[in-house]
A and B are shown apart, each in its own frame.
Chain A
């Protein structure tokens, strides 16, 4: 499966760095967004199959956005992966119950890690 990725994060330097890295690792970055509204619009028009969503999206909640994205397109939608500068242990209780497909700590973000989660969620 060809991964087409949308990255949602309020930090521009992270967006730039993540795009370069993931593209070099063979993924397509369909677009980036820094707010929830922008992300919902992009998801609608770009139809990515993976959306990376920062848990703490400035004043907005990444968790709410993840729920919206999945609720908007429950059957054929993208796999939503939550990301954070924090490690999974620190956010486990926060993201427990989220319908997202998985979680990645930003410093460990990579194409193989994304593919593992997508594979697991498809299966």
Chain B
């Protein structure tokens, strides 16, 4: 009966399929493809309407994505329907095959009621299968006239194109997401590698992870031994995270879930959760939260969590995304710990060496030097007792006393090189004045820091100036050196500036490396500017709060 129409109909269908295929090949957004499919199907198959819908919530609901033609008014793109009772959508999902219902008159369920209410009694549909899953359904309905017999087969030709479009765009979306994720991870990894302060790393991680998920807030917390967590850094969409440093109880939180299981956890709704934390969360407008553990060297250390303020639960892959970042966080923490340990041991080595030098200087002073001085005085006392006629004995004793004084001078020089006694006794200013006076190059000394400082700081500052003056005298051919010492904002700053040749380079040896080590060992830093022909500027900052441990 349809024989005469067959060639023409086939040609029309092929043209419609080609148009949709072109859209798909061009990489058009899925929404555009769905709309085109609904329209083409309805027109080419001479149907009253067509719709493309997606199964959501693990098959509990179906969401209408595109609709064309006359539908019941409530079946519009964006509407969602529970798959209760019986319906073509439910049947297609269950059987993975096309389905039709010729009469909705006595069928229970929301969709059936809606179709009936709109006067659409007959419905048919075919599955959209993506990656082996029933992703959605293409359906059509009719108020009265019967649906064509071969409708399902012809719908199926379109469903394959739709499936391809979806697979394409999903792959593309996944690629984009992957690229974004990689970029975010790289940014954080760079921070970690640069040895950024942990707080900065925590804030960066929170911001990146919240943007990626996307979530409205994110924070990093550390588990304490008393069953609480401390917030170490965070990010909120509204800007400003005010909880850093605050402690919170675990009960009713995602951190609590993670603490119990050692695994990622989620709270999809704070609405019913008991306890003060969920109440606070509700107060802040938080609806749901997902978190993942931060494990540092095999030990559960803390948690990274994101928060949503919308009704929509956070996406199911949120846990996985968090996990990638928690690894970086763990690395940053392990780095910081080992750096702190390294610094502490460097500081110990430096301060032990300083203490030893100081002790040797004191031993020399109290022991050999004192004894020689006493001996010299005794000799001079003996000399006083020599009768005036024994001139040769007097002269002999003079010789011995002179010899003793030479030994004393030598010892004094040695002791001086080992540790400057004036530093311990008088502090930086007199010690630096002595250095300046002994310098071969003219020194303009400006010591604004008059206080006494912790011994390691004084010793480091002293050696910086001492070494710098030695270098200037040796290499710089300078006419004057400016030395400035200032204590400001709990930092002791030492600047040594000369007008010499420049071109100093720690890599070429010289004591500059030792100075850098010395400064860093007590948590300080050293910078050197020495352009060729432009003089040399050595700048050292030494923290006055003990940060080495």
Complex CA–CA separation, A90 to B409 (angstroms): 12
Task: Mark each residue of chain A from 105 to 117: 1 if its CB lies under 8 Å from any CB of chain B, else 0.
Answer: 0110110000000
The answer, yes or no, to whether B387 is at the interface (CB within 8 Å) is no
A27 to chain B, nearest CB (A): 12
Q: Does A68 contact B (CB under 8 A)?
A: no
Interface size on A, residues (CB 8 A): 27
Q: Quick check: is A87 within 8 A (CB to CB) of the other chain?
A: yes
* Segment at the A interface, from B75-83, B327-335, B429-437, B487-495: B429-437
**A107-B405 contact, Cβ under 8 Å, with A11-B370, A56-B421:** yes
CA distance A21 to B385 in the complex (A): 10
Instruction: Report B265-292 CB contacts with A as 1/0, cut-off 8 Å.
Output: 0000000000000000000000000000
Find out whether the CB atom of B374 lies under 8 angstroms from the CB atom of A13: yes
- A85 → chain B, closest Cβ, in Å? 5
Per the bound structure, the CA–CA distance linking A24 and B384 in Å amounts to 6
Q: A31-39, A44-52, A70-78, A91-99: which lies at the B interface?
A: A91-99
Inter-chain contacts of B375 with A (CB < 8 A): 17
A21 B365 Cβ-Cβ under 8 A? no
B422 at interface by CB-CB < 8 Å:
yes
Asked if residues B408 and A107 are in contact (CB atoms below 8 Å), the reply is yes
Shortest CB distance B397–A (Å): 13
Q: Contacts A13-B370, A56-B421, A92-B437: A21 and B430 contacting too (C-beta < 8 A)?
A: no
- Does A121 lie at the interface of the complex (its beta carbon under 8 Å from any beta carbon of B)? no
- Give the chain A neighbours of B422 by CB distance below 8 A: 90-91, 93-94
A88 to B412, CA, bound (A): 12
Q: Which residues of A contact B426 (CB under 8 A)?
A: 93-94
Q: A18 an interface residue at 8 Å Cβ cutoff? A: yes
Cα(A17)–Cα(B372), bound, Å: 11
Neighbouring A residues of B437 by C-beta, 8 Å: 89, 92-93
Q: Is B199 in contact with chain A by the CB < 8 A criterion?
A: no
B-chain residues with CB within 8 Å of residue A96 when the two chains form the complex: 430, 433
- Pairwise interchain contact A17-B385, C-beta atoms closer than 8 A: no
Interface 0/1 of A75-86, CB less than 8 Å to B: 000000000011
**Which residues of chain B from 419 to 454 have any CB-CB distance to chain A below 8 Å in the complex?**
421-422, 425-426, 429-431, 433-434, 437-438
A94–B429 CA distance with the chains assembled, in angstroms: 9
Q: Of all chain B residues, which has the CB nearest A23?
A: B381
Residues of A within 8 A of B430 (CB): 93-94, 96
A16–B377 Cα distance when bound, in Å, is 9
Type the 1/0 row for B358-376, where 1 means its CB is closer than 8 Å to any CB of A.
Answer: 0000000110011111111
With A90-B434, A94-B430 as contacts: A106 and B377 at CB distance below 8 Å: yes
Structural contact, A25 and B421, CB atoms closer than 8 A: no
By the criterion CB–CB under 8 Å, are A86 and B385 in contact? no
Task: Answer whether A21 and B378 are a contact pair too, CB < 8 Å, given A11-B366, A93-B433, A96-B430.
Answer: yes
Which residues of chain B have C-beta atoms less than 8 A from A87's C-beta? 409, 412
Residue of A21, A25, A92, A110 with highest tally of chain B CB at under 10 A: A21
Contact with B along A5-29 (1 / 0, CB 8 A): 0000001011011101100110000
Query: Is the Cβ of B374 less than 8 Å from the Cβ of A14?
Result: yes
Query: Given the complex of chains A and B, what is the CA–CA distance between A82 and B375 in angstroms?
Result: 20
- Chain B residue at minimum C-beta to C-beta distance from A10: B366
Judge whether A90 and B433 touch: CB under 8 Å. no
Q: Which of A14, A17, A61, A86 contacts B381 (CB 8 A)?
A: A17
Find A21's partner among B370, B380, B409, B412 (CB 8 Å cutoff). Answer: B380
The interface centre, meaning the residue of A14, A56, A94, A96 with most chain B CB atoms within 10 A of its CB, is A94
The yes or no answer to B532 lying at the interface (CB within 8 A) is: no
B residues within 8 A CB of A14? 370, 373-374, 377
Cα distance A70–B22 when bound, in Å? 105
Q: B373 and A56: CB pair below 8 A? A: no
B416 CB-CB contact with A under 8 Å? yes
The answer on a CB contact under 8 Å between B429 and A93 is yes
Distance of A14 Cα from B437 Cα, bound (Å) = 30
Which residue from chain B places its CB closest to the CB of A9 in the assembled complex?
Answer: B370
A106 to B377 alpha-carbon distance, docked (Å): 8
Smallest CB separation, B401 vs chain A (Å):
9
Nearest A residue to B433, CB-CB? A93
A residues near B380, Cβ cutoff 8 Å = 21, 110
> Among the interface residues A20, A55, A85, which one has the most CB atoms of the partner chain B within 10 A?
A85
Contacts of B405 in A (CB 8 A): 107
CA distance A91 to B434 in the complex (A): 8
A32–chain B nearest beta-carbon distance, Å: 13
Does the CB pair A85–B376 fall under 8 Å? no
Chain B residue numbers with a CB within 8 Å of A94 are 422, 425-426, 430
Q: Which of B366, B373, B434 has a CB less than 8 Å from the CB of A106?
A: B373
**Max chain A C-beta neighbours (<10 A), residue from B366, B426, B438:** B426
Taking CB atoms, residues of chain B closer than 8 Å to A16 are 374
Q: A91-B422, A93-B430 are in contact. Are A85 and B369 (CB under 8 A)?
A: yes
**Per-position binary interface string of chain B over residues 190-218, scored 1 when its CB falls under 8 Å from any chain A CB and 0 otherwise:** 00000000000000000000000000000
The answer to whether A21 and B434 touch across the interface, beta carbons within 8 angstroms, is: no
Q: Please judge, given known A-B contacts A93-B429, A93-B431, A96-B430, whether A17 and B377 are in contact too, CB under 8 Å.
A: yes
CA distance A55 to B422 in the complex (A): 11
A13 contacts B371, C-beta separation under 8 Å? yes
With a cutoff of 8 Å between Cβ atoms, the chain B residues found around residue A24 in the complex are 381, 384-385
Q: Can you report 23 residue pairs joining A to B where beta carbons are below 8 Å apart? A: A11-B370, A11-B374, A14-B373, A17-B375, A17-B378, A21-B377, A24-B384, A25-B384, A85-B412, A86-B421, A87-B409, A87-B412, A89-B434, A90-B416, A90-B434, A92-B434, A93-B433, A96-B430, A107-B372, A107-B373, A107-B404, A107-B405, A109-B377
Q: Which 10 A-B pairs have the closest CB atoms?
A: A93-B430, A17-B377, A24-B384, A93-B433, A21-B381, A94-B426, A20-B381, A17-B374, A13-B374, A106-B373
Contacts beyond the supplied A24-B384, A94-B430: 14 A-B pairs with Cβ under 8 Å:
A11-B366, A11-B374, A20-B378, A24-B385, A85-B408, A89-B437, A90-B412, A90-B416, A91-B422, A93-B430, A93-B434, A106-B377, A107-B404, A110-B380
Residues of A within 8 A of B (CB): 11, 13-14, 16-18, 20-21, 24-25, 55-56, 61, 85-87, 89-94, 96, 106-107, 109-110
